[in-house]
Structure 1
Amino acid sequence: SFLSIRISLIALLLPVLAIACSQNNNQVPANSPNSGNTNSIILFIGDGMGSEQRKAALWYSAGLNGTLNMDTLSYAGNAKTASIGGALTDSAAAGTAMSTGTKTSNGFIAMGSSQNTLQTILEIAQLQGKSTGLITTTQIPHATPATFAAHISDRKKMIEIASQIIDKNIDVLFGGGESYFIPNTEIGNYPAIGKRTDSRNLINEAVSSGYTYVYDRDSFLALDTESKLKVIGIFSDEGMTRPFSPTLEEMTQAAINILEKNPKGFFLMVEGGQIDWAGHANEALNNMQDTLDFDAAVNIGINYQSKNSNTLLIVTADHGTGGMSASLTSTGASDEDGPYNMPDNTPFYINWSTKGHSAVDVPVNASGPSSELLTGTFENTFIFDVMKLQLRQ
């Protein structure tokens, strides 16, 4: 009858309406368009880069009315960063929240607080046949990159993390940390004695399994990124030394050139890792310069995404560092840095309230598929939810 047809239609529509209603308040839609398995993700993480770090870098480079590259993405929101057990997260817990969608305790790398292993977005991408890459200005086995490719309950165990990363078969690895890849019976290129006590030389193992190894600017620039490559580039014994060479911008461009050869798409994480280190040291100039170096790398991602609409581009931070604040007026405080000049010579000052992390929400900017979900304020785990949606898991 007509009545039973209407009842059937209403029953059919109810799930659709429920999905539509759930899409606000930062819910991932249960059944989204844009299917297909060629999607890519580029995730930029400015370690320790809260909104004040961005403001200071903007003033220093472009003045009050300027714009950073990362400000030009289509959508903007803010992520809450608290970890399990306290408001102040570290990079391990915040990285894990973004890489796995699960909150954990500080110090834990892609493990839950009960030491259960958590699948990462990089691992999901690999299961789909996508290429993967990790780039950092710190050590490759440092906390943030580690949360995408290793599983361990202590971020300090960087020797074990290096083993797990090498065993993960990631297509592009760029950063520092040579000492964690070579045995303590060998001297590296930088030159420092290795830290490994298991006699493994992970660089030699990587080369034996088909990786191209580069270790300085010249060998990096000689890479033939037009051919199919797996590359490991280690440019320092610990974190890379300033000024970074190759630059984060150059490493990002080379990685994209290599990874985009895969017709199934790719996942790439790029970390501006020493923004955080400058924050801990309360070094305003290094903090601003590292943020601008990071922003130049973001521009490479923007250019790629503008030509590849099935790429999701996200720029965010794991937490703020230093309790930094940029101000047009001097407080006269003993720990104040400045004055620094904007391009039009307007002076400004940098103040610090801590040598540690700060519990501020961090900015999130995004373009590409599902980026419209990253508006308002949400938990940092939601970044994983949106990336997973992009991979259609």
Structure 2
Amino acid sequence: MKRRDFFTGAAASLALGPMAAFGKENGSHQPLKNKFAAKNIIFMVSDGMSTGTLNMADILLQRKEGRESAWIKLYTEKTGRRAFMETSSANALVTDSAAGSSAWGGGRKVPNGNLNVNADGTFNKPILQKFKEAGKSVGCVTSVTITHATPAGFCINNKSRGDESEIADQYLDLKFDVMMGGGAEFFQADKRKDKKDLFGDYEKAGYKLARNRDDLMALAGLQKPIMGVFCEGALPYSLDTFEDAELRKAVPSLPEMTRKTLELLSKNPKGFAVQIEGGKVDWAAHSNDAGGLLYDQIAFDESIKIALDFAAKDKETLVIITTDHGNSNPGLFGSNKQFDLFQKYKHTNNWIMGDLKEMPTASQLIERIEFAQGYAIKTAEAEKLIGLLGTKNEKGLYVANKPLFREFGAIQSRYTGLGWASMDHSADYVELAMFGPGSENLNPFVKNTELHNFMLGVTGVTS
């Protein structure tokens, strides 16, 4: 069946009414009771994805592989619904990921840094807890730490997104069915300040642990809840993983985790709800790392295709695709020839600067960049970068040396034509796409908080 055939005619939309699944913040809503209600929800987040990121990833795929991205194909084939979404938090026009995910997860705007905790200290019940109580299988998948703000916003209440060790502890009693990502340091006794062996506690509580790609591929059922933690910190950038056979063997990709998770969760006859996050898109934007940004967006898009293919076959699954906020607002300002350099990229800026064993000479750095990205910078540019190596006085989010990566991004722009507005989140309205039953109720413009009741309404789950 073609995806365009999946949708019904206008009569169904008129019968339901365009606002049938929307409600006030964390307020009442009317469940959709009709044959088009969804049994399953796949909520996909390309964290920190400015519109330019989506555009350029699609252009890169078209020029390199002769195909559209799965996300843009929803638009060109008119098989999905599209909207703009505002992204503010309770205390700022520019949200962070904790408040952004909590808006969806708890249905209310909370202050930046909070996870489903209001300014007055009261809690908003996270949506995966609601779906779990309704009998559905639930989980989160991410390319960063599983305890990070975006997955946590669907799962728990915490005043501080930064306490990932506590968040790892909070997950234990929830018994969510599938949780996958990085962040082993928040579970290991030798890395935690309290020396608690959380991995041991998870096993005692009846969880199945998956610690590497082989463990992931061996998973075959949901007799036990699954906690998959595949590395310390975030998963490696997709671009760097392509060139490293050991990494590919040890750490699963976001598409691999997505495919396995849908296979596992779909065994529940009552349905499932899952959040899938391309978290490294945000991290690359914060460090103005163009190769990391574009190729992790493409990895996320491969996960979109897996989700859409599942939904087209299943016919009972609503796929929601969006981002929590823009970040750094990258755009293409150069020539075709400049942009085509990205087709030759082997490694990210993070690999170039982060894996240095000793201080390089200018010629060594020029050679390293040319090997990794296919262009040779000038000696003066290399010397300026070397002068910033070791600078630690302006620490950026996920960037140990913000001045270095800001300068590298600026130099790189001269060769690739990809420019940056900043190294921080933006207040942009963002892309929101839907495919599947219930998507016909999507309004052209929504507040981020409205998606909470939309998901509950389209599945017929009461809050």
**TM-score normalised over the length of structure 1:** 0.84
Amino acid at match of 1:69: A
**Deviation of residue 85 (structure 1)?**
1.7
Aligned to 1:366: 434
The answer to whether the 8 A contact 1:100-1:119 is kept is yes
Go from structure 1 to structure 2 and tell me whether the alpha carbon gap of 1:369 and 1:56 turns closer, same or farther (over 3 Å shift).
same
Q: Is 1:335 aligned with 2:403?
A: no
The answer to whether the 8 A contact 1:326-1:350 is kept is yes
For the residue of structure 1 that corresponds to 2:154, the secondary structure is helix
**Deviation of residue 210 (structure 1)?**
2.0
For the residue of structure 2 that corresponds to 1:278, the secondary structure is helix
The structure with the largest helix share of the pair is 2
The answer to whether the 8 A contact 2:20-2:30 is kept is no
Which of 319, 330, 338 pairs up with 2:325? Answer: 319
Q: Quote the Cα distance in structure 1 between the aligned partners of 2:317 and 2:305.
A: 14
Go from structure 1 to structure 2 and tell me whether the alpha carbon gap of 1:34 and 1:204 turns closer, same or farther (over 3 Å shift).
farther
Aligned to 1:380: 448
Go from structure 1 to structure 2 and tell me whether the alpha carbon gap of 1:69 and 1:21 turns closer, same or farther (over 3 Å shift).
closer
Aligned to 1:141: 147
Aligned to 1:47: 47
Q: Quote the Cα distance in structure 2 between the aligned partners of 1:143 and 1:305.
A: 27
Instruction: Say what the alpha-carbon RMSD is for the aligned residues.
Output: 2.6
The answer to whether the 8 A contact 2:84-2:432 is kept is yes
Aligned to 1:60: 60
Which consecutive unaligned segments of at least 5 residues does structure 2 have? 1-13, 24-28, 242-247, 339-406
Q: More deviation in 38-47 or 310-319? A: 38-47
Go from structure 1 to structure 2 and tell me whether the alpha carbon gap of 1:103 and 1:305 turns closer, same or farther (over 3 Å shift).
same
Which of 279, 293, 306 pairs up with 2:312? Answer: 306
**Deviation of residue 229 (structure 1)?**
4.2
Amino acid at match of 1:195: R
Go from structure 1 to structure 2 and tell me whether the alpha carbon gap of 1:352 and 1:31 turns closer, same or farther (over 3 Å shift).
same
For the residue of structure 1 that corresponds to 2:153, the secondary structure is helix
Q: More deviation in 110-119 or 30-39? A: 30-39
**Deviation of residue 27 (structure 1)?**
4.2
Go from structure 1 to structure 2 and tell me whether the alpha carbon gap of 1:372 and 1:36 turns closer, same or farther (over 3 Å shift).
closer
Q: Is 1:195 aligned with 2:192?
A: yes
The structure 1 segments of at least 4 consecutive aligned residues displaced by more than 4 Å after TM superposition are: 19-22, 24-29, 35-38
**Deviation of residue 383 (structure 1)?**
1.6
What number of residue pairs does the alignment pair up? 356
Q: Quote the Cα distance in structure 2 between the aligned partners of 1:208 and 1:24.
A: 46
Go from structure 1 to structure 2 and tell me whether the alpha carbon gap of 1:22 and 1:371 turns closer, same or farther (over 3 Å shift).
closer
For the residue of structure 2 that corresponds to 1:252, the secondary structure is helix
For the residue of structure 2 that corresponds to 1:293, the secondary structure is helix
Q: More deviation in 268-277 or 208-217? A: 208-217
Aligned to 1:239: 234
Q: Quote the Cα distance in structure 1 between the aligned partners of 2:458 and 2:16.
A: 20
For the residue of structure 1 that corresponds to 2:112, the secondary structure is coil
**Deviation of residue 285 (structure 1)?**
0.7
1:295-349 deviations in Å (ceiling 9; x for gaps): 111111101100122211101001111121223458xx98264578xxxxxxx62
1:127-148 deviations in Å (ceiling 9; x for gaps): 1011111111111111101111
Q: Quote the Cα distance in structure 2 between the aligned partners of 1:36 and 1:373.
A: 11
The answer to whether the 8 A contact 2:149-2:161 is kept is yes
Go from structure 1 to structure 2 and tell me whether the alpha carbon gap of 1:170 and 1:32 turns closer, same or farther (over 3 Å shift).
closer
Aligned to 1:9: none
Q: Quote the Cα distance in structure 2 between the aligned partners of 1:226 and 1:22.
A: 39
